[in-house]
Structure 1
Amino acid sequence: MRFMGTFTPKLDEKGRLFLPAKYRDVLAEGVVVTRGQEHCLVVWPPEVFDRESERQAEQPLTNKGARAYARMLFSGGDEVVPDKQGRIGIPAVLREYASLEREVVVIGVRDRFEIWNPTSWRDYQEAELAAFAELDDE
């Protein structure tokens, strides 16, 4: 599945997120939620996370950046199965990392999706839109 689009669901009082309806069927068996870069969260279908895990495992342990990436990715990860209403629980440590409260932004990013604090997403977009407009085949 390709994940595309921008959605603005809300977290409930228990820190659960309603998955966008168009994603629910493909994610019914579960997802992996991890820290992402730029202080967002990444939600991976298990098979996509497995590919990322394999790619990570190919990195030498002597590579300091690879070790740091693996530590951040896996130490904050959580495997979650959506409930019957299509909600996934976001652990408190991950909500804190991404500064998530009630309002969130969910963006599709090809083979995964990200969960952002709305202010952080707006700031990121503003900073990146000019660079996006200027992209060239360099």
Structure 2
Amino acid sequence: MNESQVQPQPPADGEGLDELRLPPLLLGTFTPKIDAKGRMALPAKFRGMLGRGVVLARGQERCVYLLPIGEFRRMAMQVQRASVGDKATRDYLRVFLSGACDEVPDKQGRVLVPQLLRDYADLGEDIVVIGVGTRAEIWNRTAWQRYLGEKEQGYSDIENDVLPAVEF
């Protein structure tokens, strides 16, 4: 068996098995710039977790979702399983998928943010990239600061509703 045929083995004690099955966990806040050609440098912390490519798509609250390809496929399949007879499902699929595009980072770790998505989220040069678990979001910096300012008090108020079973 040559090196290319060797399969990675989980640790013998079972530790690390969850990491082998779970999608990447994208966390943190970053402030890259969008250059004149519409390219954004992916946060260095995310590059290894995103694999060989990403999908950019319209997100809620006028941000752009940045998803590992596997996570995008999982989300798209989940939505497509919903009833096509449901108007809300059709509407969501049309908006979500029609603006989605797959991108492969260049050697400098940059991806093109298409003009359609830059217009949708009002993205200029100053942006914020936030990790939101299995996806990242790209925000207009001013819009993100306003959103965060509006939501911070509510964050404290809804903790028990959102995290009822989690103990800290």
Once residues 118 and 15 of structure 1 are traced to their aligned partners in structure 2, the CA distance between those partners, rounded to angstroms, is: 16
Task: Give the Å deviation of 1:106.
Answer: 0.2
* Poorly superposed stretches of 4+, deviation over 3 Å: none
Aligned residues: 138
Q: How does 1:1-138 map to 2 (within 5 A)?
A: 1-138=24-161
Q: TM-score, normalised by structure 1?
A: 0.96
Once residues 78 and 15 of structure 1 are traced to their aligned partners in structure 2, the CA distance between those partners, rounded to angstroms, is: 14
**Do the aligned partners of 2:57 and 2:66 also contact (CA within 8 Å) in 1?**
yes
Q: TM-score, normalised by structure 2?
A: 0.80
Once residues 28 and 49 of structure 1 are traced to their aligned partners in structure 2, the CA distance between those partners, rounded to angstroms, is: 13
**Do the aligned partners of 1:106 and 1:114 also contact (CA within 8 Å) in 2?**
yes
- Counterpart amino acid of residue 69 in structure 1: Y
* Secondary structure of 1:137's aligned partner: helix
Task: Give the Å deviation of 1:132.
Answer: 0.6
- Greater C-alpha radius of gyration: 2
- Counterpart amino acid of residue 81 in structure 1: V
Structure 1 runs not aligned, ≥5 long: none
| Larger RCO (CA within 8 A; separation ≥ 6) | 1
**Do the aligned partners of 1:28 and 1:82 also contact (CA within 8 Å) in 2?**
no
> CA, structure 1 residues 125+20, in 2 after alignment: closer, same or farther (shift >3 Å)?
same
* Secondary structure of 1:125's aligned partner: helix
Larger deviation: 87-96 or 127-136? 127-136
Task: Give the Å deviation of 1:65.
Answer: 1.0
Identity %: 43
**Do the aligned partners of 1:35 and 1:76 also contact (CA within 8 Å) in 2?**
yes
Give me the CA root mean square deviation: 1.0
Once residues 159 and 27 of structure 2 are traced to their aligned partners in structure 1, the CA distance between those partners, rounded to angstroms, is: 23
Task: Give the Å deviation of 1:26.
Answer: 2.4
Structure 2 runs not aligned, ≥5 long: 1-23, 162-168
